[in-house]
Amino acid sequence: TTAHSCPMAGFYEPRATSHEPRPSKATSELRGRQAPLIPIERKRIMTKEEHVRHLLEDPVYAIMGNEELCLGRSNMDVAKELIAAGVTIIQYREKHKKWRAKYEEAKAIAQLCHDHDVTFIMNDSTDLAIACGADGIHVGQDDAPAQIVRQLAGPDVFIGVSTNTVDEMKQALADGADYVGFGPMFPTQSKKDADEVVTPEAKEYALKFDLPVVGWREQARKTGGTHHGQSFPGTGKPESG
Residues involved in catalysis: 93, 162, 191
Q: In the beta sheet, which residues pair with residue 63?
A: 91, 227
Helices (H), 123-223: 126-132, 146-153, 166-174, 200-207, 220-223
CB atoms within 10 A of CB 185: 18
Helices (H), the chain: 48-57, 75-84, 99-115, 126-132, 146-153, 166-174, 200-207, 220-223
| Sign, CA torsion 191/64/118/58 | negative
CB atoms within 10 A of CB 189: 9
Q: What is the rounded CA–CA span in Å between residue 180 and residue 162?
A: 6
CA 71 from centroid of its chain's CA atoms: 22
Number of H helices, E strands in the chain: 8, 10
